[in-house]
Chain A
Amino acid sequence: MSELKKSLEIASSPHITSGDSVEVIMRNVVIALLPVCAFAVYTFGTAVALVLAIATLSCMATEHFLCKASGKRSTIGDWSVAITGLLYGLTLPPDLPLWMVAIGGVFAVAVGKFLFGGLGSNAFNPALVGRAFLQAAFPQAMTHWAEPLGDSRFAELPTSTLALPFAQPAYDAVTAATPLAEMKFDGIQAANRELLFGLTSGSVGETCAVLILLGGIYLVIRNMMNWRIPVSIFTTVAMISWMFMLYDPVAYPTPAFMLFSGGLMLGAVFMATDMVASPITNAGCWLYGFLIGSLVVVIRYWGGMPEGVMYAILLANAVSPHIDRLIQPRVFGTGKGAG
C-alpha cells in the first residue's frame, strides 16, 4: 500500500460533467423527427421515402466529403448533419425530382454549413438554405404539390420523382392546392381538423401539426429545445391574425388556420429553434420569435407567395447575432437588482 500511483491526471475543475453531449442532443432531435417522417411516408407514399433518403444521404455525403477534402476528421458522427438532411427533406414537395433533392442537399451543407465554418458557426439554418436555393432555381417544381393519401401512392412512383437530371419534369397530375394557396388565391379555408392531422397537401413533413408538436414537447422535456421560440412565434401569429380577423372576417383567416397551415408548425418547432442560428438569451428568444411571427404574417398577407415561413426564419437568423449583441443577461449585482 505504500506505493501509491506515481502519475496523476491533472485537470481544471470541475471534474465531473452532466453527461449530456452534442451527440446526445442531436440524436434526440432526430428521434423527435422520426414520427413526422413516418407520417409523411404514410400520407404521400414511396416517393417521400425516397425524397427523405436522398436528402439525408446527400447532406451526409457532402459533409463527409468536405471534411475529408479539407483534411479534417469526418463529423458525420455527431448527428447534426443528419438533422439537416431530414429537416431539409421534410420541407420539400413530395413529388420533387430526386436529382433536385440531391443538388439542394449538397448546397445546404456546402454553402449553408461548411462555408460558414461547420457545426456551431452556421449563421442560417442549413436546411432552409438548401430549400431557398431550390426555390430560386426550380420555382415550378418547388410549387407542385401532390394530393395526400393517393390510392396508388405505395404502388407506383410519380413520373416526376425519377425525372432525368436537368430535364423538365413531367407531372402525372395537375398541382393540388395547398391550404394556404387556396386561402390566398381562392379565399377557401381548410377545416382545422384536416390541418391538425395532416390530411392536406403541402411539403413532405409540414402537414401534421400534432406529430410536430409532440416531437417539440419531447425535446422541451429533455431540455434540448428552447420552448420560448415556438411559443413566441405562435403567440405573435395568433395575436396579429386575430386582430385582422376582427377587422375583416371574410378577407382574413382565423388564427387557428394561420397556426396550423403551411410550414409554420414545422418551422417554428424544428427550424427556428436551431440553437446555432437563434439567440442565446431567453429575452432574445422572445424577440426572435416575435420577429419570425410578424414576418410570417406580413409575407402571407401581402407577399407574392402564399407561404413565408422559410424567408421569415432566414431573415430572423440573420438578425439573431444582433439580438445577442443587444440583449445580454443582467449580471448579478449590477443594475437595479444590486444592493
Chain B
Amino acid sequence: MLDMVRKDSFRHGVHPPEHKDDTSHLAIRRFPFAPVLIVPLSQHLGKPAIPVVREGEEVSRGQTIAEPDGFVSVAMHAPASGVVKRITLAPSISGSMVPSVYLQPHPAASQEVDDGEPCDVESATADEIITAIQRAGIVGLGGAAFPTHVKLKAPEGKKLDTLIINGVECEPYLTTDHRVMLEQTADIFTGIRYLLRATGAKEAIIAVESNKQDAAKKLRENCPDDMPVSVRVCPVKYPQGAEKLVIKSLLGREIPSGGLPADVSAICVNVATTAEIGRLLPKGRGIQERVITIAGPGVQRKGNYRIPIGTTVRFALEETCAANNISRVFLGGPMMGAAVSNLDIPITKGTSGITALTTVETGEATGQQEVYPCIHCARCVESCPLFLNPSHLGLLAKNEEYTEMAEQFHLMDCFECGACSYVCPSHIPLVQYFRLAKKMVRKLSEAT
C-alpha cells in the first residue's frame, strides 16, 4: 500500500513474523563437544586454507590447523583438544564434498584455549591488525562468511569515513546478534577500536532494529566516552541487515550497482564479528567456536548456544531435543537459510543458526502450495528492496532469457533476500529461478 518513506530506513521490504521472543531472552549457553568435529578447510569465500597438521597428530584447542592460502583466505583453528583422525572429503551444505579435518576431541581434556601472539590495540599498525584478523580466521559471522580483513583494506584511491557495525539481525528466529550485543558489550567496543584503527574511519555507528531496544540501551550505557561511536535504532523491516540497505538506512547513501561499500566511503561489519575481534585479538586466539540460535517449532530446547565449529547439525539437533517429525531444517533463518539435505554436515563460521520446521508447518504453509500464473499484482515489485522487477524477471527466467535478465534487468544485483517469493500470492518460486539464472549467466560469461 502506501510506501512510507521514513528516515532511518530504506524503501520497500517486507515484514515477516519475527518469532524472536522464544530465544531473545535466553542467555548464551555453552554447547557440549560432539564425539567428532568436522572442520572444513573452506568455510569462507575465497581460497581454502592449507592444512598444517597430519592425520594422527594431537592438537590443542585453539591451535592453528590450517594456514591461509593467499590474501583472500583465512586460518583455521582446532575447535577442541584432541586427535586429527583424518583429513578427507566431508559433505557440505551445497551438496558437494569438501576437504575437511575430522577431529576427535579428548573426552577428559581440560579444553583450555591456546593463546597466540597478542595484537595490542594501542600500538599495532593498520596492516598488523589486518594480518592479525586474517590469522584469527575471522570471517563475516552474519552468514556471508567473507574474510573480514579483505573488507578492511580500502581499494586504491578510496577513503573510508564511516564504520557501520551491523546489529540489525532482520532474519526471523535468529537472536544471536541480539544476545552478543547484550552479553559481549565490552568485546564489541574493543573490536570497534581495532576496526577504527585498521580502516582509518572517523566514526562508528552501531545499527540496531527497534525490536532490540534493550541491546541499544546496553550499548549506549557502556559506550566509552573517548570513542566516536553512536548507536542508531532503525524501524524493523526485512532485509535491513543487508549491507546495501543498512548503509542506505543509516547514511542515505546508495552503493552503485555492482559496487562495494567503499564506493560510498563506508564499511559494514557484523556485530558478532566485531565482538569476536575484540575477544580474540588481545590474546592472539582464533575462532574455534561461534554463537548460533537453534530454534523453530521442531526444536524443544530452543536457545542461543556457543557451539564448537565443526559440530554436526545432527548432534546439535539431538542435544536440543529436536522433534521426530522435523521435515525441513535450514542453516540460518527462514528467509535466506539454505535447506539441509544431510544432517551430518558441520556448523561452520558462517552458520548463524539452525531452524527446524515440522511436518505441521511445512504441510500447511509451504509444502503443498499450488503455483498459479503471475497475475501482475505487483507485490514483488513493491517489496524488492533493490527495485528490480521480479515479476518480469520470473517471466524471462521461464523462457530462459538469461542474458536479457542480466543485461537489461539487473539480475546480478539480486542478493536473494526472498522478499518477492515471500509476498507472491501465486507462490511462484522466484528466488529459485533467479539463483538458477545467475548460475547460468556466470556459466555463459565463463564460456565466452
Cα of A114 to Cα of B187 in the assembled complex, Å: 64
B98 interface contact, C-beta 8 A: no
Q: Determine which residue in B314, B337, B370, B431 has the highest number of CB atoms from chain A within 10 A of its CB, and name it.
A: B370
20 A–B contact pairs at CB < 8 A? A1-B318, A1-B321, A4-B326, A11-B328, A12-B429, A13-B334, A15-B355, A16-B17, A16-B172, A17-B366, A17-B421, A18-B422, A119-B375, A280-B378, A282-B378, A331-B413, A332-B387, A332-B413, A333-B413, A339-B253
One of B82-90, B218-226, B255-263 contacting the partner: B255-263
B322 interface contact, C-beta 8 A: yes
Cβ < 8 Å to B, chain A residues 217-234: 220-221, 223-224, 226-227
Q: Which residues of A contact B387 (CB under 8 A)?
A: 329-332
Q: Which residues of A contact B248 (CB under 8 A)?
A: 332
One of A21-29, A134-142, A204-212, A244-252 contacting the partner: A21-29
B376 interface contact, C-beta 8 A: yes
B339 touches A338 (CB 8 A): no
Majority secondary structure of chain A interface residues (helix, strand, loop or mixed): loop
A8 touches B372 (CB 8 A): no
B385 interface contact, C-beta 8 A: yes
B244 touches A16 (CB 8 A): no
B376 touches A15 (CB 8 A): no
With beta carbons under 8 angstroms apart, the residue of A13, A276, A331 that contacts B335 is: A13
Cα of A306 to Cα of B375 in the assembled complex, Å: 33
B330 interface contact, C-beta 8 A: yes
With beta carbons under 8 angstroms apart, the residue of B326, B367, B375, B377 that contacts A5 is: B326
B373 touches A118 (CB 8 A): yes
Cα of A338 to Cα of B366 in the assembled complex, Å: 37
Q: Which residues of B contact A17 (CB under 8 A)?
A: 365-366, 369, 421-424, 427
B254 touches A332 (CB 8 A): yes
Q: Say how far A15's CB is from chain B's closest CB, in angstroms.
A: 4
Cβ < 8 Å to A, chain B residues 310-337: 314, 317-318, 321-322, 324-330, 334-337
With beta carbons under 8 angstroms apart, the residue of B366, B377, B381 that contacts A329 is: B381
Cα of A5 to Cα of B327 in the assembled complex, Å: 8
B421 touches A333 (CB 8 A): no
Nearest chain-A residue to B263 (Cβ)?
A: A339
A13 touches B339 (CB 8 A): yes
B410 touches A280 (CB 8 A): no
Q: Which residues of B contact A282 (CB under 8 A)?
A: 378
Cα of A248 to Cα of B1 in the assembled complex, Å: 39
One of B24-32, B39-47, B112-120, B388-396 contacting the partner: B388-396
B213 interface contact, C-beta 8 A: no
Q: Which residues of A contact B17 (CB under 8 A)?
A: 16
A187 interface contact, C-beta 8 A: no
Nearest chain-B residue to A277 (Cβ)?
A: B376
Q: How large is the interface on A (under 10, 10 to 19, 20 to 34, 35 or more residues)?
A: 35 or more
With beta carbons under 8 angstroms apart, the residue of B16, B374, B413 that contacts A18 is: B16
Nearest chain-A residue to B383 (Cβ)?
A: A18
A70 interface contact, C-beta 8 A: no
B369 touches A21 (CB 8 A): yes
Q: A10-B341, A13-B335, A339-B264 are in contact. Are A280 and B389 (CB under 8 A)?
A: yes
Q: A5-B325, A5-B326 are in contact. Are A16 and B365 (CB under 8 A)?
A: yes
Cα of A220 to Cα of B14 in the assembled complex, Å: 18
Cα of A249 to Cα of B189 in the assembled complex, Å: 73
Nearest chain-B residue to A20 (Cβ)?
A: B425
Q: Say how far A223's CB is from chain B's closest CB, in angstroms.
A: 5
A22 touches B328 (CB 8 A): no
Interface code A305-339, partner B: CB below 8 Å = 1, 0 otherwise? 00000000000000000001000111111100111
B72 interface contact, C-beta 8 A: no
Q: Which residues of A contact B328 (CB under 8 A)?
A: 8-11, 15
Q: Which residues of B contact A9 (CB under 8 A)?
A: 327-328, 339, 362, 367
With beta carbons under 8 angstroms apart, the residue of B255, B375, B384, B392 that contacts A275 is: B375
A333 touches B255 (CB 8 A): yes
B324 touches A329 (CB 8 A): no
B257 touches A332 (CB 8 A): yes
Nearest chain-A residue to B418 (Cβ)?
A: A14
Q: Say how far A297's CB is from chain B's closest CB, in angstroms.
A: 27
A278 interface contact, C-beta 8 A: yes
Chain A to chain B: the 5 pairs with minimum beta-carbon distance, closest first: A120-B373, A14-B418, A12-B432, A333-B257, A332-B386
Q: Which residues of B contact A330 (CB under 8 A)?
A: 387
Q: Which residues of B contact A331 (CB under 8 A)?
A: 257, 386-388, 410, 413
A192 interface contact, C-beta 8 A: no
Q: Which residues of A contact B314 (CB under 8 A)?
A: 4
B357 touches A15 (CB 8 A): yes
Q: Determine which residue in A16, A22, A282 has the highest number of CB atoms from chain B within 10 A of its CB, and name it.
A: A16
Q: A13-B336, A328-B389 are in contact. Are A121 and B373 (CB under 8 A)?
A: yes
Q: Which residues of B contact A328 (CB under 8 A)?
A: 389, 409
Q: Say how far B311's CB is from chain A's closest CB, in angstroms.
A: 15
Q: Say how far B416's CB is from chain A's closest CB, in angstroms.
A: 7
Nearest chain-B residue to A328 (Cβ)?
A: B389
Q: Determine which residue in A8, A119, A324 has the highest number of CB atoms from chain B within 10 A of its CB, and name it.
A: A8
Nearest chain-B residue to A78 (Cβ)?
A: B372
Cα of A339 to Cα of B340 in the assembled complex, Å: 38
A175 interface contact, C-beta 8 A: no
Q: A8-B327, A13-B338, A17-B424 are in contact. Are A339 and B254 (CB under 8 A)?
A: yes
A275 touches B410 (CB 8 A): no
Q: A25-B425, A332-B244 are in contact. Are A13 and B431 (CB under 8 A)?
A: yes
Cα of A338 to Cα of B426 in the assembled complex, Å: 33
A15 touches B413 (CB 8 A): no
With beta carbons under 8 angstroms apart, the residue of B253, B366, B410 that contacts A11 is: B366
Cα of A188 to Cα of B335 in the assembled complex, Å: 60
Q: Which residues of B contact A80 (CB under 8 A)?
A: 375
Cα of A220 to Cα of B377 in the assembled complex, Å: 12
Q: Say how far A312's CB is from chain B's closest CB, in angstroms.
A: 20
Cα of A16 to Cα of B336 in the assembled complex, Å: 10
Interface code A248-267, partner B: CB below 8 Å = 1, 0 otherwise? 00000000000000000000
